[in-house]
Structure 1
Amino acid sequence: MNSKKYNKVAVGGTFDKFHDGHKKLLSTAFQIGNKVEIGVTSDEFGGLKGDIDSCEERMNNLKSFFSDKTNFIVIPLNDPYGTTIYDKDFDAIVVSEETEPTAVEINEIRVSKGMNPLDIVVVSFVLAYDGNPISSTRIRRGEINQKGNIIRK
């Protein structure tokens, strides 16, 4: 008997400076979905955030981290929606509190195309030891590490 709630789940992000918040987001997708499609912002799209690792490097990091799993694919994202607005097979999308509005937009687009809306699963932020969310931006700035530990300057 299948214990997963959804057959196909989408999750996307930049996934730069792979950290505990990313792990929570992706682990949730694997917990609820039989198949997981992980969209990683392309160099052109993700580059809007500043100095980040290449899309290839970020995709390889994900593949390495989940090397024990076989039920996923990693694809580049060239826009905020990826394949979710074309692929009718998705049942759910896993997002952070920050990206929930994008999931709502995806559902509006899907419904306008006669597709079923996705169940939106919102994962709360993982907090650093200072009580603020762990983020790649904070890691790039040298404020915290991937585990949320404060870096003393």
Structure 2
Amino acid sequence: MVYKKYKKIAVGGTFDKFHDGHKKLLTTAFDLGEEVEIGVTSNAFGGLKGDIDSCKDRMKSLKDFFWDKSNYTVMVLDDAYGTTIFDENFDAIVVSEETEPVAVEINEIRVSKGMSPLDIVVVSFVLADDGNPISSTRIRSGEINKKGNILK
């Protein structure tokens, strides 16, 4: 068996317009964790970002990407923290540069509850052809595709 740095690792997001940045984030979590819990924002919580695909469709995209894996669970997130502020078994959280502040908040909450803080693994943005980060917002606007190629 391949040694993994962490026993249980968390990763979360909206995962709308599933793109190369999402793939890098999730692949990092799988590379580091024996068990990966993936939180996907609910329609209500994720919908705060605008017109996004349904939670069911976004979860299907994740499962399709990891069709060959079995060491994960996918759950719905109704807030930014999910089970990380209750489950003491997490060792680490994988976040993007954009969501690192949320991981810091999670650790503050965990410590205030007498729980161990999580190791925070920050994954750098995947850049589009123009040198700016690939994002679901840019894909929705038709500016780039999921690989970061410029469309207009």
TM-score past 0.5 threshold: yes
The residue aligned with 2:29 is: 29
Unaligned 5+ segments in structure 2 are none
The residue aligned with 1:144 is: 144
* Aligned sequence identity (%): 78
Q: Runs ≥4 in structure 1, deviation > 2 angstroms?
A: none
2:139 aligned counterpart, secondary structure: helix
Q: Distance in 1 between matches of 2:95 and 2:65?
A: 19
The residue aligned with 2:101 is: 101
The residue aligned with 2:75 is: 75
The residue identity in structure 2 corresponding to 1:7 is K
1:14 maps to 2:4: no
Q: Distance in 1 between matches of 2:60 and 2:107?
A: 29
Task: Name the Cα RMSD after superposition.
Answer: 0.7
Deviation at 1:3, TM superposition (A): 1.0
1:132 aligned counterpart, secondary structure: coil
Deviation at 1:80, TM superposition (A): 0.2
Deviation at 1:64, TM superposition (A): 1.1
1:69 aligned counterpart, secondary structure: coil
Unaligned 5+ segments in structure 1 are none
Deviation at 1:2, TM superposition (A): 5.0
Q: Distance in 1 between matches of 2:58 and 2:119?
A: 26
The residue identity in structure 1 corresponding to 2:34 is N
Q: How many residues align?
A: 152
2:10 aligned counterpart, secondary structure: strand
